[in-house]
Amino acid sequence: MAEVTEALEKQKKQREPLFSKKNRKLLSDPFNDDNPIT
């Protein structure tokens, strides 16, 4: 059980933050060509 929680903590740390450079760019200009959603 401890191994599973340890693995989950590592995955959370590897995610990029919400306001990283890439995400901040999408928030400021959401309709550019780099946005896969539009």
Residue that has been written with the tokens 């550019």 in this structure:
32
The domain limits of the chain are 1-38
Q: What is the mean pLDDT of residues 15-32?
A: 68
The Cα 14–Cα 5 span in angstroms is 15
> 2: exposed, middle or buried (C-beta count within 10 Å: 0-12, 13-18, 19+)?
exposed
**Is 38's pLDDT higher than 60?**
no
Q: What is the mean pLDDT of residues 9-21?
A: 62
| In the predicted structure, residue 10 carries a pLDDT above the cut 70 | no
CB neighbours of 34 closer than 8 A, spacing ≥ 6?
25, 26
| pTM value > 0.75 | no
Write down the pLDDT at residue 24.
72
Report which listed range, 10-14, 18-22, 30-34, is most confident: 18-22
By C-alpha distance, which of 27, 8, 9, 10 is closest to 18? 27
